Structure 1
């Protein structure tokens, strides 16, 4: 679509992180020479991990999903973050000649300054309070026609939930992937009780226009919506959210009533490629039966691994294999 004004603001209409990230991806294709877009959005009850992270190392994904939350993978680097409706996400999308990290960061500082909060940059990725507490993390990407800076603003995030979901299980694991760096964080409402998510978004929009001039509200066409839907579907897929995880080795141990089991797995894209089972159980054929049940399956057993136990002829062995399957399904 042909546009005259080069400054735009778009407000998200969804709180689904996968949809919001799909909108962001599509917006990158709309940026023309001289354009600057501010995209403001919120995600509900979500963990977002970086493109190159191993989901097993970063969060308790199964617990989050069982409790009605979302797990999403973004296309930029950086660490895992917990987001809820007490958090604000922002994205600056600009043509290469208009992209200016100093100007963009100044908009954030100006919006916070409206509430009397002084900020400081920490490296390239974080924004801190003057006391040194992190409230914003940023990540970046670029194409030939569009540069992107996106980040978060912790306004009133549930920090107990954040700790709960970003504390993965203590299984023995050797894994590739970029680890998140844990920082001391704070909510902006800890510094000024008058600040709200809606208020800070409105101030971001006002500061954006102070910096770049009057902006139009960007409306998406039906054609845009269809392209976003296609991206959204790919962002919802198991292959993207889980299957992009780097290879890893993981060890599980547990004592059952019939014996102790140690399982060593080699995972590639969270699929069990190799498995070795050790046990002191009396049934000498049990390790091979367990290995057969798991090999080639998704680690979270979302591809119905319980069927594998049905092929075992011995009733007792079948029961034991099923116990192991249920155990791994519970902790994965």
Structure 2
């Protein structure tokens, strides 16, 4: 087994690293640990915009990254330790999460934390969730990864994942907002995330005969960076990959009440747009609706587009910022 402590706190890097290792070492067992700076990691089959508070995320410079596995969206920050097991699919039961959460539970129990696996894939303490786990199978291997809330900023977690459920209608996987807690209050005073990481590394070295610490090479880092640029940093993967959905938003602004309805295809492209309201304008709103068709439901792309047209012709005395808010 290779035990890898990622040298990066960049969510793009660490989520891309999981895929890189999957193909670079197709038969090697791997235990990967990493800590991400503030970021939201979205499940593969989720509608990203329906899982995040976009305004808050942008203002706080929180990265949004889609992972390869299913499940719900999770918030990562420096008070959050993430672990990832890579093994041959072989005879492992894909739906059994206990095998690869057992080392975590055993270590925490040794530290007198009453942690246990409950339900299908959650680790709880005193009835509150501190770890969610997800899986994927690809290239003959299975990856199970999870997050451990150690001393995460709970208020940021709540704000970053707080969305208006009335804006989106789709069949994408929804995140389960269970009651969550940090582990720090249950652990010895003064213990930090890095201490828990080191204990987990020691645990895995003891449990796995022949396990070695593996340092990423420059070739590895370049391979991960290439994957970041080609996939994990792109709007197409993080937002556009979302399943088909319907979007609705309405606001009262000085020019009047405006309500926006969008039908968005998989890939993030607007298929149909309808706009209602009590505003006054000199140009037919149908013309504006038609111009939206074929555009991506990407705030940056729409923002750039709105700069090129006279919005007052369609909505009366409005600003670009007032209109762009309707599409968030």
User: TM-score, normalized by length of structure 2?
Assistant: 0.89
Q: 1:124 to 1:284 in 2, by over 3 A?
A: same
C-alpha displacement of 1:215 = 2.1
| Larger CA deviation: 20-29 vs 254-263 | 254-263
1:96-118 alpha-carbon deviations (Å, 9 max, x no partner): 34858544222111221232112
Query: Partners in 1 of 2:91 and 2:7 — Cα distance?
Result: 26
Q: 1:26 aligns with which of 20, 39, 56?
A: 20
- Label 1:14 to 1:73 Cα distance change in 2 as closer, same or farther (>3 A): same
Identify if the C-alpha distance between structure 1 residues 144 and 170 changes in structure 2 by more than 3 Å, giving closer, same or farther: closer
Please, which runs of 5 or more residues in structure 2 have no aligned partner?
Answer: none
- C-alpha separation in 2, matches of 1:321 and 1:148: 54
CA displacement at 1:308 relative to structure 2: 4.7
Call closer, same or farther: CA 1:158–1:179 in 2, change over 3 Å. same
- Rounded to whole Å, the distance in 2 between the matches of 1:197 and 1:44 is 13
Instruction: Give deviations 1:87-142, integer Å, cap 9, x for gaps.
Output: 0000011123485854422211122123211221112311112x221111101112
Partner of 2:278: 280
2: CA distance, partners of 1:320 / 1:292: 18
DSSP-derived class of the 1:104 partner: helix
Q: Is the 8 A contact 1:21 1:74 kept in 2?
A: yes
Identify unmatched segments of 5+ residues in structure 1: 1-6
Residue 175 (structure 2) pairs with residue 180 (structure 1): yes
Do the aligned partners of 2:69 and 2:134 also contact (CA within 8 Å) in 1?
yes
| Whole-angstrom CA distance in 1 between matches of 2:46 and 2:312 | 40
Q: Distance in 2 between matches of 1:231 and 1:321?
A: 45
Q: Contact conserved, 2:46 with 2:174, CA < 8 A, in 1?
A: yes
- Residue 31 of structure 2 is aligned to residue 38 of structure 1: yes
Aligned-residue Cα RMSD (Å) equals 2.4
**Residue aligned with 2:301, SS:** coil
Partner of 1:135: 130
Give the alignment of 1:1-332 within 5 angstroms.
7-31=1-25, 33=27, 35-97=28-90, 102-129=98-125, 131-194=126-189, 195-233=191-229, 234-268=231-265, 269-283=267-281, 285-308=283-306, 310-312=308-310, 316-317=312-313, 320=316, 323=319, 325-330=320-325, 332=328
